[in-house]
């Protein structure tokens, strides 16, 4: 075991930085070459790691090769391999060479651009890249810095942060008019398909949990929230003396990939004066393709919209784009101006200080990552990336519908297919056979899928889209699912 004498300790020695970074990059490249050989979902038991690692931190330095060897032996078996081509669970977290290079630049330069003066290029590049992204998604000018209407965008780490910040802005916009004591009158609306982030945000910002309305959806509307049911819920609350403050619509819901009618919900929301947020965390990336853009029709009625390049846009974790029509609403709620941050540019109101558009003060230079991704791949390749995943999902959906034992439960819109083994007889809820099928596939290590519950049905989710997935992986996984289904159905005969 090696050790460095204290008098040579230089944690940022450029030569050592170069040598050891190369060792890590070689390690990761080797990981990508062999990732397919690992069980996709980790098969370890809880607590496995404390049996392998020392109880105490080392007193002396250890060489990087030793650390990498331990990662290979002890850490990799405890990972669920999100970059495996056979990962079909949750939603994909796309890694890419450009995303990694951008992340390296972000991490290597390690600037903390909380206000403009703390790193002017970090702020200005973020302004530019947010406008680039907005144009790729064909968002209306009201969300762009260059749109001349006061709008603009910011990079957060996650949709959860974006939702908390916009809900805080919505809360304060209303409470400034009616008094802060009236917080118990505010009501937030979402559907039973909306991501749980909204429920969490309601708790965080102090709106009573009882004032969070989860409006049911059904198969008839493709599990999207209808304007009619939103209006009914809002009218009932207003009749009780309550105040609709925030509604979250979704393009590409987590469970089944449903799309809410953005224009219809926006009209209702605007009528009631509520803040209208559109969450396109997963499917927003698809709207760079003209054939998916119509799902955003009416987005000009929204106050804010967010999507995650760290899901389906080849941008390594973490990266969430949030655009706001009136960023001043965020600033009014989130700005603080301690003496130690005062500077001429901020005081002259000439610059964006992103610390006032987010929760934390410190912030990462995420813009450089997204900028490298867009430049390195170009729009043509990014569009192709989305289309090829959608084509594979389409093919998977076709294969499922050709096997009479299965059914596609929700018509596919993007790259997520929701399916199940059909009930075998009258009154069979098919729950146990589908649960068993999922367990068998996941515990085999050959592929990893997750499930959802819709209308009381246990549904298998097959989310196509890791960067390394090819049609051969989808075909092999489908054959494997079919074979396991045969085993289960035979067991029950």
Residues engaged in binding ligand PLP (CB under 6 A)? 91, 158-160, 195, 197, 250, 253-254, 279, 281-282, 308, 320
Kindly tell me which of 195 and 451 has the beta carbon lying closer to ligand PLP: 195
Kindly tell me which of 119 and 158 has the beta carbon lying closer to ligand PLP: 158
Please give the Cα distance from 458 to 428 (Å, whole number).
12
Taking residue 484's Cβ as centre, other Cβ atoms within 10 Å add up to: 18
Smallest separation, CB 204 to ligand PLP (Å): 13
Q: Where are the beta strands (DSSP E) in 65-167?
A: 152-156
Kindly tell me which of 116 and 312 has the beta carbon lying closer to ligand PLP: 312
Please give the Cα distance from 261 to 443 (Å, whole number).
38
Can you read off the two tokens belonging to residue 318?
A: 């973490």
Smallest separation, CB 283 to ligand PLP (Å): 8
Please give the Cα distance from 108 to 351 (Å, whole number).
25
Q: What is the DSSP letter of 416?
A: E
Q: What is the DSSP letter of 224?
A: P
Q: What is the DSSP letter of 55?
A: S
Kindly tell me which of 160 and 454 has the beta carbon lying closer to ligand PLP: 160
Kindly tell me which of 186 and 305 has the beta carbon lying closer to ligand PLP: 305
Kindly tell me which of 247 and 351 has the beta carbon lying closer to ligand PLP: 247
Please give the Cα distance from 147 to 327 (Å, whole number).
13
Smallest separation, CB 360 to ligand PLP (Å): 15
Q: What is the DSSP letter of 259?
A: B
Smallest separation, CB 19 to ligand PLP (Å): 35
User: What do you get for the CA distance between the two ends of the chain, in Å?
Assistant: 59
**Torsion angles phi and psi, residue 327, rounded to 5:** -55, -20
Smallest separation, CB 214 to ligand PLP (Å): 15
Q: Is 67 exposed, middle or buried (0-12, 13-18, 19+ CB in 10 A)?
A: middle
Please give the Cα distance from 303 to 324 (Å, whole number).
6
Taking residue 289's Cβ as centre, other Cβ atoms within 10 Å add up to: 16
Residues in contact with 266: Cβ distance below 8 Å, sequence separation at least 6, in sequence order: 249, 276, 298, 299, 300, 301, 302
Which one, of 460, 363, 482, lies nearest residue 416 by Cα?
460
Kindly tell me which of 156 and 446 has the beta carbon lying closer to ligand PLP: 156
* Residue written as token pair 């809410």: 260
Kindly tell me which of 234 and 319 has the beta carbon lying closer to ligand PLP: 319
Smallest separation, CB 113 to ligand PLP (Å): 21
Kindly tell me which of 282 and 478 has the beta carbon lying closer to ligand PLP: 282
Kindly tell me which of 312 and 371 has the beta carbon lying closer to ligand PLP: 312
What angle separates helix 159-178 from helix 197-204, to the nearest 10 degrees? 40
Q: Bridge partners of 450?
A: 461
Smallest separation, CB 223 to ligand PLP (Å): 13
User: 243 by DSSP, 3-state: which?
Assistant: strand
| Biggest distance spanned by C-alpha atoms of the chain | 78
Smallest separation, CB 448 to ligand PLP (Å): 15
Kindly tell me which of 195 and 385 has the beta carbon lying closer to ligand PLP: 195
Q: Where are the beta strands (DSSP E) in 57-117?
A: none
Label residues 445-455 b or e (16+ Cβ within 10 Å = b).
bbbbbbbbebe
Smallest separation, CB 311 to ligand PLP (Å): 7
């Amino acid at each position: 075991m090696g050790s460095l004498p204290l008098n040579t300790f230089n944690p940022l020695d450029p030569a050592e930085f170069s040598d050891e970074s190369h060792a890590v990059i070689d390690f990761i490249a080797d990981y990508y070459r062999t990732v397919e050989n690992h069980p996709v979902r980790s098969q370890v038991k809880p607590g496995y790691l404390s049996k392998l690692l020392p109880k105490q931190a080392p007193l002396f330095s250890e060489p990087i090769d030793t650390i990498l060897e331990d990662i290979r032996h002890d850490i990799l078996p405890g990972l669920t391999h999100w970059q495996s081509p056979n990962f079909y669970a949750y939603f994909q977290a796309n890694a890419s060479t450009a995303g990694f290079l951008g992340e390296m630049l972000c991490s290597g330069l390690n600037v903390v651009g909380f206000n403009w003066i703390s790193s002017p290029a970090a702020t200005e590049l973020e302004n530019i890249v947010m406008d680039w992204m907005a144009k790729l998604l064909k968002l209306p000018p009201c969300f762009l810095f260059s749109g001349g209407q006061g709008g603009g965008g910011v990079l957060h780490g996650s949709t959860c942060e974006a939702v908390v910040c916009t809900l805080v802005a919505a809360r304060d916009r209303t409470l400034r008019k009616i008094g802060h004591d009236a917080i118990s009158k505010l009501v937030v609306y979402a559907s039973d398909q909306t991501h749980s982030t909204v429920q969490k945000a309601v708790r965080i910002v102090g709106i009573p949990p009882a004032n969070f309305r989860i409006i049911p959806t059904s198969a008839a509307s493709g599990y999207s929230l209808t304007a009619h049911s939103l209006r009914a819920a809002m009218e009932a609350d207003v009749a009780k003396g309550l105040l609709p403050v925030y509604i979250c619509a979704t393009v590409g819901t987590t469970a089944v990939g449903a799309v809410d009618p953005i224009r219809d919900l926006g009209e209702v929301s605007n009528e009631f004066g509520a803040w209208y947020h559109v969450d396109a965390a997963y499917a927003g990336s698809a709207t760079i393709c003209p054939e998916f853009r119509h799902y955003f029709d009416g987005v000009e009625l929204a106050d804010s919209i967010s999507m995650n390049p760290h899901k389906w846009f080849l941008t390594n974790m973490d990266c969430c784009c949030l655009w706001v029509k009136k960023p001043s609403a965020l600033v009014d709620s989130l700005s603080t101006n301690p003496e130690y941050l005062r500077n001429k540019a901020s005081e002259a109101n000439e610059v964006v200080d992103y610390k006032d558009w987010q929760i934390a003060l410190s912030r990462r230079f995420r813009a450089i990552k997204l900028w490298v991704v867009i430049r390195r791949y170009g729009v043509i390749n990014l569009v192709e990336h989305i289309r090829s995943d959608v084509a594979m999902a389409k093919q998977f959906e076709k294969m499922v519908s050709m096997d009479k034992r299965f059914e596609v439960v929700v018509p596919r819109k993007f790259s997520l297919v929701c399916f199940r083994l059909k009930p075998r007889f009258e009154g069979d809820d098919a729950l146990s056979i589908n649960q068993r099928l999922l367990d068998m596939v996941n515990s085999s290590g050959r592929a990893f899928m997750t499930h959802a519950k819709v209308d009381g049905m246990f549904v298998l989710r097959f989310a196509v889209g890791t960067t390394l997935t090819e049609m051969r992986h989808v075909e092999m996984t489908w054959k494997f699912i079919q074979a396991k289904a045969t085993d289960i159905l035979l067991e029950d005969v």
